[in-house]
Chain A
Amino acid sequence: MKSERLDLSSRRAINQDSFIQEWPETGLILFDSPFDPKPGIRISRGRLCELDGKPEAEFDLIDRFIARYAIDLTRAEEAMALDSTEVARRLIDIGVPRQELVDLFGALTPAKIVEVVNRLNTVEMMMALQKMRARRTPSNQAHVTNRKENPALLAADAAEAVERGFSELETTVGVSRYAPFNALALLIGSQTGRGTALTQCAVEEALSLKLALAGLTTYAETLSVYGTQKAFHDGDDTPWSKAFLASAYASRGIKVRFTSGTGSEALMGHAESKSMLYLEARCLMAIKGAGSQGVQNGSISCIALPESLPGGVRGVLAENLIATLMDLELASGNDALASHSSIRKSAKLMLQFLPGTDYIFSGYSSMPKEDNLFGGGNFDAHDLDDYNVLQRDMQVDGGLRPVSDEAVLKVRRRAAQAVQAVFRQLELPPVSDAEVEAATRVESSADMPERDVVGDLEAAGRFLEEGRSGLDVIRALAREGFDDIARKVLALQKLRLSGDHLQTSAMVLPGPRVVSAVNDPNDYRGPGSGYSLSPERRQEIASLNQALDPREIGREPAARSGGFLRETGEACAGTDPREIVIALGPAFGTALRATLLGIPHQEVLQAMIDGIRAEGLRPRVVKVYATSDCGFIGHRGAQLSGSGIAIGIQSKGTTIIHQRDLEPLNNLELFPQAPNLDLSSYRTIGQNAAKYAKGEPVTPVPTRIDNTARLKYIVRTTVLHLHETRQVVKDRNPRELDWSPMQAAAGSGAVEKALPA
């Protein structure tokens, strides 16, 4: 049997994701593979001779590296003897300082670390991450790439990303020979606006080093590490070769971050039946042992693999946490596409977003995901408004800020112009005015003019061969009048001399000013400590472009049309059985002039009058002052009505048909959702009121049901009702009103009276 409802559910985004059961033999398991070793250590005469049950003779390269560089043997026996649950509790105990835990975890084995972390539930891991990340101030990294590798668009996207608050930008290439130009475009774009950012270009190691040496990039993140020796070898490296490379970068004053993540070993077929988290713990210890200041992990490009398994998202949080326990800078993933489902993606993001990490994304796709050459774009340019709202909702610093459309267009154009100028000065293939204009405004590279690919590749190749460098870029910028950008690029190059950004969790703020775990250490010790939003930052996060000033609501020009009502005296109880009273709320037609939907009050009143008259009865209009409540307005009207029937209407348009002998909050018909009422509804309301008075059978006024109405209009409803309530005069009796009919309103200024004077 088939259910249409189930069928529709099966086609939801979440059901396009892949889900599998665990398969420990192949490493398709997050925690607790039956093949994972048990924690253990044996030290003999200052030498580690057994690691997690494996004797030294059986050590692979990773074991050897960890044993040599990543475990503090002076404390290891004592630390390993601690009960894992007790250590786990210390992680979330605000009485235990971060440094004490860093020292403790520096003396544990991979299996012990995993056992401890696995004693925490997801919320506890988030609490631990909040406490254990290295730098106090959280931040964010962006991806900047495009399919056509257009330099003007790259620069414009980079400039916008920095304007939005990203403090690191990463690009890569579709065709590796483009690398110098992509790096160049990012370098210029990143220094165009008021902000600044470190930039990198993810390419093969040797080329990556060359770009950095030439001053075209300022950091590198490509040093991948794996948890088994075979996977490491497939990556064509060993822990020693990677560690040496890290020193090589540092020797040139270039910041480096390693890369690892759950799932890579299983994906490469070399998991050796170990759980993903156990292997990742080995990676992170190797990274620490290599002397790296930091890591990007959180499964990175493999993310959909752990997420196919039970506990996948928790496992990824656990690996982020272990990175911080190793005292490493953490760029916490969230980059590659992790799910088809927005619900699932957002829920997962919260695990890093709420506790905060050094870089919440290791690549937020700052352009539309179609242009993301990393296979990334879990969140992209079109999610930025959502992201800003999440920051505002939770009052969490996710590293970004709302920016105006004008500011975006301004920095985009200037960055594209700067690239155009530098290409001109350095006699590279020209960037046309049309490209600059397009780079400022396009949705994606699909809309960019075509460039001469062969010419670009040739020139990009020559660029490095001829020994061009960041200094040539600085000179070109200055000669073309972009002094401000030239100075900022130079300031970044100069930072290399200081090595300040080689310290753990370094980011560069305008100035440039380096902020790292040394001068901004995470000092979280429970409520009232650690990072908190400054008043200025709180205001910045709150100031969404689309946030309205509530004082302006209800004061729109359309709502300020001329008066059409005139009070003629206190309203008395009527005696005419053919009259229907229309009782207006205290602001109707005076302090307010239109309903929630912006329908002018005069037209609304006329529609009800027309409806009453169509049934041959006589409308009479009064204003109620004593209350702004719809039921009570209608009830007061009904007491005055000769027929005993009245229509009560609030300024926002909510309407009721009332009868004299009903309780105030009872009614004949109630139309609580003003957004669903149009002029013909109001006319029918008039008719129905008249029919009740005549004792005829009445079909209730049909109204649309729109369950988003409250969502869309609750703010306006609140503000309009507030204005109405401000007009309430408790002890003022209802007033009789004359009104200007619609057709005469513009012309003769005639006034109708409901009752003979």
Chain B
Amino acid sequence: MSNVTDNYPLSEKRPDRLTTPTGASWKDIDLQSVLDGTLGMSDLRIAPETLELQAQIAESAGRSQLAENLRRAAELVKVPEEKILEVYQALRPGRSTSGELESLADELESQYRAGRCARFLREAARAYQA
């Protein structure tokens, strides 16, 4: 087994590497902080770095597609829910022209640095057009 999978599960073996996008750390999150109100749902979000670690674990376990999914997910961490739902809706059948998908791809790429997701949308646009 490689070193990467030796760190799994991260919650047991490497909690020190787990932080939230808001900067809270694993040990900061306890019942008291919930009761104090110092912790919100936004503090209970996975960080892009963590998804990358999980992608590496998936990859070293021989699961390249799962790893790719987790890397797309890492890009989406910073994308707001409304935008995510908008992209999802746009990908559903008959919802958008390939131009519309292209411009959503551009937006993901430029505004959220979501290059993989953008590429994925462009591939969808080409497939839908064919």
Q: Which residues of A are at the interface with B, using a C-beta cutoff of 8 A? A: 59, 61, 64-65, 68-70, 99, 102-103, 205-206, 209, 213-215, 232-233, 236-238, 240-241, 243-253, 288-293, 327, 469-471, 474-475, 478-479, 483, 486-487, 490, 493-500, 502-504, 512-514, 516-519, 521
Contact = CB atoms under 8 A, between A and B. Distances in A.
Top 3 A-B pairs ranked by shortest CB distance?
A: A291-B69, A250-B73, A251-B76
A699 to B, nearest CB: 78
A580 B124 CA distance: 98
Contacts of A327: 62-63
A84 B12 CA distance: 43
11 contacts: A61-B128, A213-B41, A238-B93, A248-B84, A250-B69, A251-B74, A251-B84, A291-B65, A478-B31, A494-B26, A497-B47
Contacts of B57: 503, 518
Interface of B: 5, 8-12, 15, 18-20, 26, 29-31, 34-35, 39-41, 44-47, 50-51, 53-54, 57-58, 61-63, 65-70, 72-77, 79, 81, 84-85, 87-88, 91-94, 117, 120-121, 123-124, 127-128, 130
Contacts of B67: 291
Given A240-B127, A498-B10, 9 more contacts: A237-B92, A238-B124, A240-B91, A248-B76, A251-B79, A291-B68, A490-B29, A512-B11, A518-B57
Contact of B88 (A70, A99, A244): A244
Nearest to A69: B65
A261 B63 CA distance: 23
B41 A238 contact: no
A494 B18 CA distance: 10
B77 to A, nearest CB: 5
A70 B124 CA distance: 15
A215 B39 CA distance: 14
| Contact residues of B: prevailing secondary structure | helix
Contacts of A479: 35
Contacts of B30: 490
A245 B62 CA distance: 23
B93 A251 contact: no
A241 B8 contact: no
B48 to A, nearest CB: 9
Nearest to B48: A251
Contacts of B69: 243, 246-247, 250, 290-292
Contact of A487 (B8, B31, B41, B117): B31
Given A99-B62, A290-B69, A503-B58, A495 B8 contact: no
A103 B84 CA distance: 33
Given A241-B88, A241-B91, A499 B63 contact: no
Contacts of A498: 9-11, 15, 18, 26, 46, 50
Given A240-B91, A496-B46, A68 B123 contact: yes
A504 to B, nearest CB: 6
A247 B66 contact: no
Contacts of B61: 503-504, 517-518, 521
